[in-house]
Structure 1
């Protein structure tokens, strides 16, 4: 089993695209700015090239680790430590289950579960210590639950 680097690159673009839609003033942008304590003027002061480059790098890192969460076969692959010919049982496993659960739907499911059980607690804990509101937690967590669902779909379903 090999990484689909093209799927990972495409999935790494998803957070930027969804963020553009999610944090747009016509969707959740104004509510997010209010919950974050930001203003339109304060947001204009950022170096957007740096922000988008670093965002893409971090998104790529996230997309790179997602196969281990959304593709079941990665568990068998990790057991062999990348030596695919290590045991005949690995070949037998792939013969029986090679592309099982490799669908966009299944990837979406695991991506959403990752968002709920990874992103939500991390954002929630940080927000509690930063004294942010529940609205802040739900807006940011909702973004990551949706984003990870789409990223998971791309990575798991794109064979």
Structure 2
């Protein structure tokens, strides 16, 4: 099973696009800055190019692993040790029957959403509790990642 690195890269870049909208001051940016304790002055002098590149690299890592959650056929490949050439004939029969099952944007969006809601939001919420962040902060940041994972899942599953 080939990995579509272009789909993973596009999924990663989509987080930056969502971020430009989500964290705009007229959307959730003002709330996020206030709840994060940030000000315009504190943001001055930040290397935005470095921040953007690191964000894309981190999002690429997330999109890469999300692939295993949204494309069910990768589980079948894992069951045969990752090398389809050494698999029993039943593996090929399975892929003949189910190789493209549930490989849609809609299905990927569903699994991306579930991953965001049930894995990412709890991580952000737990960190927020210990960092003494507000519920608003948790909802804005968690909501961002739920939307991002939904879009990334759709791109990865529908395009791969």
TM-score (norm 1): 0.97
The CA deviation string for residues 57-111 of structure 1, in whole angstroms up to 9 with x for no partner, is 1111111111101011110011122211211111011011010000000000000
User: 2:64 maps to which residue?
Assistant: 64
Q: In structure 1, how many angstroms separate the alpha carbons of the residues matched to 2:24 and 2:81?
A: 43
- In structure 1, runs of 5+ residues without a counterpart are none
State the secondary structure of the residue aligned to 1:100: coil
User: 1:83 maps to which residue?
Assistant: 83
User: Post-superposition shift, 1:42?
Assistant: 0.9
User: 2:156 maps to which residue?
Assistant: 155
Confirm whether residue 48 of structure 1 aligns to residue 57 of structure 2: no
Q: In structure 1, how many angstroms separate the alpha carbons of the residues matched to 2:58 and 2:26?
A: 26
Over the aligned positions, Cα root-mean-square deviation in angstroms equals: 0.8
Q: In structure 2, how many angstroms separate the alpha carbons of the residues matched to 1:23 and 1:40?
A: 13
The CA deviation string for residues 27-74 of structure 1, in whole angstroms up to 9 with x for no partner, is 000011111111111112311111111111111111111110101111
Q: In structure 2, how many angstroms separate the alpha carbons of the residues matched to 1:81 and 1:26?
A: 49
State the secondary structure of the residue aligned to 2:140: helix
Q: In structure 2, how many angstroms separate the alpha carbons of the residues matched to 1:43 and 1:129?
A: 23
State the secondary structure of the residue aligned to 2:27: coil
- In structure 2, runs of 5+ residues without a counterpart are none
Query: Which contiguous aligned blocks of 4+ residues in structure 1 show a shift greater than 4 angstroms?
Result: none
Aligned residues: 159
The CA deviation string for residues 131-150 of structure 1, in whole angstroms up to 9 with x for no partner, is 01000000000000000000
